[in-house]
Amino acid sequence: MLVLVLIGCVSWPDDPSEAVFVVEDIPRFWEAYDAGGDLAGDIDRLYLGPASPGLDAFRRKRFGDAETLAEAVQSDATWYEAVRENTLRVADDDAVLDPLRDAFAAAEAEYPDAFFPDTTFIVGHFGSGGVSLRPGLVVGVEFFTAPEDAPVDTLGEWHAGVVRPVEALPGIVSHEHVHSLQHSFCGPAPTLLQAALKEGVADVLGARWSGMNTNAHIWEYGALHEADLWAEFEADMDGTDTSGWLYQGAYDGDRPPDLGYFVGGRIAEAWLAAHPDAADPIASLLAAHCDADAFLDDSGYAPSGR
């Protein structure tokens, strides 16, 4: 029997087989792209005008207007052209979406209280790969539809490091799914430690349910520098400035951005290792940011001898 879970006046199913994937914005984007007039005007009329609730919420949250989106598309036109075919596969090929349902089923198996928000796939401004919003999960497919011969040499360093093939979609969808579940526990994450725990838990559980970590490149670097990173992070973690650790979008030499995901994830893994017999470990991870200091202490995480 289908049960709808009410979160903030939005109802979503608790059965992964009933999860809704919204794909109709993708062909509308390409209709606007091909219209041949003023690109911003065509995007506004043919893409943003009839937008799905997910696309409309993403537009309001991320890029604002048709002019901004058109400028981004024109700036990276080679990339958008290269991913066009694969973006349309997301809209047309059930085989692309089946692994997402498998990841949702894995989440339900470990966490029976899970619910499954609508997941909307859009073509965005190449600025945000995924987000959990009031209408559900929203994924910018321009990040996750790279072809085998992807022209990454046309991209900046950050974009070149984060674009993925279409097979990587389960990783980002699961990561954002975790965020939607976290929202039902407590409010914002004002400190760096709280924000890093939210992102790190999303990496850990997202990888557990989908079989892939959407931030694997960050974790690879972090594993080689863990003690030093912890020493830096520990000095900053009680503050509210996340800029050196999260949502940066730029490399510092060979150091990737967003290493707070790794630190938060390693704290989550330490907590799991310290509590192998926890009655409801998934719920504890999803609520980790609610009392971040207590969760950190309870994890025993201390690569630098805390």
Contact, 37 vs 55, CB < 8 A? no
The structural domains of the chain, with segments of one domain joined by +, span: 4-182, 192-299
> Rounded distance, CA 259 to CA 225, Å?
10
> What is the structure's pLDDT at 30?
98
b/e sequence 265-287, b meaning 16+ C-beta within 10 Å: bbbbbbbbeeeeeeeebbebbbb
> What residues are paired with 6 via a beta bridge?
11
Please tell me the pTM assigned to this model.
0.93
* pLDDT by position in tens, the chain (length 306): 344 444 445 689 999 999 999 999 999 999 999 999 999 999 999 999 999 999 999 999 999 999 999 999 999 999 999 999 999 999 999 999 999 999 999 999 999 999 999 999 999 999 999 999 989 999 999 999 999 999 999 999 889 989 999 999 999 999 999 999 999 898 887 999 999 999 999 999 999 999 999 999 999 999 999 999 999 999 999 999 999 999 987 888 899 999 999 999 999 999 999 999 999 999 999 999 999 999 999 999 999 644
3-state SS, 102-160, equals HHHHHHHHHCCCCCCCCEEEECCCCCCCEEEECCEEEEEHHHCCCCCCCCHHHCCHHHH
Give me the DSSP letters along the chain: ---EEEETTEEEESSGGG--EE-THHHHHHHHHHS-S-HHHHIIIIIITT--HHHHHHIIIII-SHHHHHHHHHHTHHHHHHHHHHHHHHHH-HHHHHHHHHHHHHHHHH-TT-----EEEE---SS-SEEEETTEEEEEGGGS---TT--GGGS-HHHHHH---GGGHHHHHHHHHHHHHHTTT-----SHHHHHHHHHHHHHHHHHHHSS-TTHHHHHHHHHSHHHHHHHHHHHTTSS--TTTSS----BTTBPS-THHHHHHHHHHHHHHH-TT-SSHHHHHHTGGGGHHHHHHHHT--TT--
Sequence-separated (6 or more) residues with CB below 8 Å from residue 91: 23, 24, 26, 27, 121
> What is the structure's pLDDT at 1?
36
- Parallel/antiparallel/unpaired status of strands 119-122 and 130-133: unpaired
> Rounded distance, CA 282 to CA 271, Å?
11
> Rounded distance, CA 8 to CA 100, Å?
24
Contact, 173 vs 138, CB < 8 A? no
> What is the structure's pLDDT at 250?
81
Contact, 84 vs 151, CB < 8 A? no
Sign of CA dihedral 246, 172, 190, 228: negative
CB atoms within 10 A of CB 124: 26
Dihedrals phi, psi of 180, to nearest 5 degrees: -65, -35
> What is the structure's pLDDT at 10?
66
